[in-house]
Amino acid sequence: MIPPLKLTDDGNKAIIWMEELRSNQLPVIEKGRFLGFITEDIILEDNDPKKTISEYELEDQGCMVLEHQHFYDVIRMASDFDSQMVAVLGATGAFLGVVGIEDTIRAIADSTAVQDQGAILVLLVNHRDYSLAEISRLIEGENARILSVAVGSDVSDSSKLRVTLKLNQNEVSHIVASLERFGYKIIGRFQEEEVKSNDKERFDMLMKYLNI
């Protein structure tokens, strides 16, 4: 739904399209190949909207994914380039379109693990001590199941991992107690009933779940 610009288009056309689409950036292609993005700031700072797109310096040329990649890759790429959209390429490198970060978050929200009710736990674990099998055994021993898991390095200590778990139960006090009994440190706990007050809190929970 986001049309690409060509090198022969001018800055004025780009600005008009951005206003109509309520976007501050647009992809630029040439002969079906993605060249990068042009932004509203680039055009306005140059102060000559009659210039063709070929005369502007494009940005985020590497902000792209292949069509078969997961939407987590879209979020990672958008975060790396601080971009609101990511170009999607086919197997041969042909430009297929763009995916907006809002659409990607919506796709995550529609996924089964997010839609299913249940609490979210965030554990801090030493790299050498991480074992999903062991964590699963303890949780299943409390008659619960892990619906999804996300693992990433802790930003403040590279020797530790943040393990984010989505469970199939809302009440997890007994699970927390069991994990702590075996030495696991719980640094985050988000239960369904605690996040229903407004949309912002729902969004914050989603971001913590994805560990972004």
pLDDT in tens, 145-161: 998 888 888 888 888 99
Structure tokens belonging to residue 41: 């700031």
In sequence order, what are the residues at sequence separation of 6 or more whose Cβ sits closer than 8 angstroms to the Cβ of residue 68? 91
Asked whether this chain's domains 5-108 and 112-210 adopt the same fold, the reply is: no
What CATH number does the domain located at 112-210 have?
3.30.70.260
Task: Please report, for the chain, the start and end positions of each structural domain, with discontinuous segments joined by +.
Answer: 5-108, 112-210
pLDDT surpassing 90 at residue 7: yes
Q: How does residue 203 score in pLDDT terms, banded at 50, 70 and 90? A: low
List of residues 6+ apart from 72 with CB closer than 8 A: 210
How confident is the model over 104-156, as pLDDT tens digits? 777 777 665 666 778 899 999 999 999 999 999 999 999 999 988 888 888 88
Give the global pTM.
Answer: 0.62
- Cα separation, 64 vs 87, in Å, equals 4
66-75, 161-170, 192-201: range with highest mean pLDDT: 161-170
How far is Cα of residue 12 from the mean position of the Cα atoms in its chain? 31
CATH 3.10.580.10 holds for 5-108: yes
Instruction: Find out whether 114 and 212 touch, Cβ atoms under 8 Å.
Output: no
End-to-end CA distance of the chain: 26
